[in-house]
Amino acid sequence: MWTPRYLDNGNVGAGIDTFMTVVSIVYAGTYITNTYIPLNSMPHSIWVIELICATLFAVDFATRGIYLNNRRQDFLLSVTALVNAVVILPLMCILLGAAGVIQVAETMDGTLSVKNLGDWTFFNSFFNSVMTFVTIDKPPSDNALSKIFVGVLVCVFILVIPYQISNVMDLSRSISSYEQASYRPTRNSRHVVLCGDLTASRIGHFFREIFHNDHDFVGVHVVVLSEDPPVTSLKALLLDPFFAKRVWFIQGSLLEVDDAKRAACDSADAIFILTSRVDVEGEGANEKIAKRNTPAKKLPTTAEEAVVDDVGNLNFIVDHIVVCVTTELAFATDLEHLIGPLRARSLKQYRPVVIMTAKLPDDDIYESFSHFLDVHFVVGDPYRRKTLRRAGVSDAFRVLILGTSCLISDNNSELLQDAESVALHRFITSFIGMPHAPRVITELGNRASVHFVAQNLLGNGWFQSSGDDNELAMFESSEAFSQNFFLSPAFASGLTYSSTLCDSLLINQFFNGRIKAILGEFMFASQTSHDTNTLRDAMLEANLQRSSLFAVEVPLDFVGRSFEYVFHYLLSSDDILVIGLYRCHPYMHPSSEKPEYKARVEFPENERSVPYGYVYVNPQPFEEITGDDLLYVLSDKQPCWANSPEE
């Protein structure tokens, strides 16, 4: 059984096929040469070559065609073999054979000498056979044999050509140019590989981020290694002159060695693996964080024990935070990373967390955040007002809408993946009233969806109008929506978050290796596991205390001062580092209800207006601080002037 395997499917068989192809070309060349040689003067060498070629054809057909066939006789006598013998003849072979027959038919009557074939050389005969097929006109002469053969030739063309064209089309569709593409690195260029869970929007965002002018990295090449072929919008992007010179798209998998070699992964400066942002199966592979010691309070051991019918019966001392899980198929994973910073030791008091969901988490998912205090569940449909009342949405400090967990199969589903989040945002804002709309923070999967949130709040006085009735008129497509994500007031004010920001952080990690450590310190400051404390060892060696990020009101002593003064004063006196401002919208200040202006810090916390404005990072030293601003500070504990939730 090893003989057919090696002669048909192995490297030996491929070598034999290549050799027989060369023999066929040589045999056709000898025939064409023979037509230009006078009669009875064919060189002996050409005769020997033709004999050798014919012998090789016979040996190949007798061995691989007949002997190695499991059912030789049935194969030779079958209708399939006879049909294949006629149908699978390549078009070029038919044309060349027809040229030879027409030449013989036109010169066999003896009117033309062998040395003077006139218009019936082999080249002219081949041309006439092609023209007969193209025009299907009358035969090129009045010779009876030519007429008969041309008629048979046309009938054969009618049967063979459609089949051959169909095979060619099927072959072109089955083999993509991206499956054969490869990247060859050069000494003068650097390249990175992009793979993982890729969509057209994520790939486009990656291109704009890595080729950004701030990175001064124009000389880099990007190799996209995707298991799926590019969609129409991505093909158009790849045809852009700028990207066409710097981007290679290869269809394949990183798990396949050959595909990885085609992408030159072994010599890449970096390999970016974008992971899926959702887990519809609810089987996250994240490691469980270590549980810390908690006060002597009985904690629920299962999610069912943490379910409450109405949060109003719990009599919370401080306003709680509501987390809305929009999916009905599976529970959101990795909630421990969301609740963890809300339970940092540097906080004076923790706010309760109420998770509003239609489906309780599995035991393994709940175990990851079951050790946190004051985490409760309200089970119900979030689109019912009764469920919102039971969850205390009207009295909540913040309402967080998590993104929908859905798989992205094409461009359309990618654009619609945030439909539930946008609809729920509109429903909740109408329920709590537009004056409290900035309490609702929405997670989005597609950046273009941020403008639907902005449009929802546009007509209610939150966003300053530019004078155009249609605020979205400046954006002509979802691509423009995505590119203007950072310019949207819904994002600048902190009302929306897109999970694509993780892609941006991943890309910038390539240029600045400290980003991951700094971000990890913000996210995991409340945890004590050695796996999650990214800066813990370095800080212990330097005898430094760990810091947390706080947003606090501006003290009265700093109102009207410059940012430079506030920065140096807090750093020198309290070891507090101010890294930015949150400039609140004057429209939300309750000055119209008060006879005199007061700063935010002068109001009790429950009477302060919902902060809305924009984040101001790296302010100018001369920037004046107002009483409506919030300070973003890094401190080892919550600043003393920040009101405790008990007050």
Classify residue 174 by burial, with Cβ atoms within 10 Å: 0-12, 13-18, 19+: exposed
In a domain, 145, yes or no: yes
pLDDT digits (tens, 9 = 90+) for 411-454: 556 667 788 888 888 899 888 887 788 888 888 887 778 878 87
For residue 554, what is the domain's CATH number? 3.30.70
CA–CA separation, 296 vs 313, rounded Å?
22
Instruction: Please answer whether residues 427 and 386 qualify as being in contact, where contact means their C-beta atoms are separated by less than 8 angstroms.
Output: no
CA–CA separation, 576 vs 568, rounded Å?
9
The domain tally of the chain equals 5
Distances (CA, A) of 543 to 48, 523, 527, 546, 638: 92, 21, 18, 10, 20
Lowest-confidence segment of 11-20, 146-155, 187-196, 466-475 by average pLDDT:
466-475
**Residue that finishes a domain, picked among 176, 195, 226:** 176
- Asked whether residue 47 carries a pLDDT value surpassing 90, the answer given is no
Same domain (yes/no): 585, 481: no
In a domain, 565, yes or no: yes
Same domain (yes/no): 81, 184: no
Same domain (yes/no): 37, 154: yes
Q: Per-residue confidence at 224, pLDDT binned at 50, 70, 90?
A: very high
The per-residue pLDDT for 359 is: 85
Same domain (yes/no): 554, 537: no
**Residue that finishes a domain, picked among 161, 176, 191:** 176
pLDDT digits (tens, 9 = 90+) for 65-119: 666 665 666 666 665 566 555 544 555 566 666 767 777 766 666 555 445 555 6
Q: What is the DSSP letter of 213?
A: G
Q: Per-residue confidence at 295, pLDDT binned at 50, 70, 90?
A: very low
With residue 338 as reference, give the H or E element that holds it.
Answer: helix 336-339
CA–CA separation, 95 vs 58, rounded Å?
23
Same domain (yes/no): 461, 586: no
Same domain (yes/no): 536, 601: no
Share of the chain above pLDDT 90, in %: 5
Q: Per-residue confidence at 32, pLDDT binned at 50, 70, 90?
A: confident
For residue 481, what is the domain's CATH number? 3.40.50.720
Instruction: Please answer whether residues 247 and 221 qualify as being in contact, where contact means their C-beta atoms are separated by less than 8 angstroms.
Output: yes
The per-residue pLDDT for 280 is: 44
pLDDT digits (tens, 9 = 90+) for 242-279: 888 889 999 988 888 888 888 988 888 889 988 775 54
Same domain (yes/no): 157, 230: no
Query: What is the gyration radius of the CA atoms in the chain, in angstroms?
Result: 38
Structure tokens at 74: 């049935």
Same domain (yes/no): 199, 169: no
Contacts 24+ apart (CB under 8 A), 242-247: 242/211, 243/207, 246/211, 246/218, 246/220, 246/221, 246/222, 247/207, 247/221, 247/222, 247/223
Same domain (yes/no): 27, 156: yes
pLDDT digits (tens, 9 = 90+) for 564-582: 999 999 888 888 888 888 8
Same domain (yes/no): 526, 491: no
Region of residue 333 (phi > 0: left; psi between -120 and 50: alpha; otherwise: beta):
beta
Instruction: Please answer whether residues 262 and 224 qualify as being in contact, where contact means their C-beta atoms are separated by less than 8 angstroms.
Output: no
Is 0.85 surpassed by the pTM of this model? Answer: no
For the packed helices 79-87 and 144-174, what is the interaxial angle rounded to 10 degrees?
Answer: 100
**Residue that finishes a domain, picked among 274, 292, 323:** 274
Same domain (yes/no): 146, 225: no
Q: Per-residue confidence at 408, pLDDT binned at 50, 70, 90?
A: low
Domain range enclosing 615: 547-647
Same domain (yes/no): 515, 558: no
Regarding predicted confidence, which is higher, 335 or 138?
335
Output the average pLDDT for the chain.
74
Structure tokens at 431: 């329920």
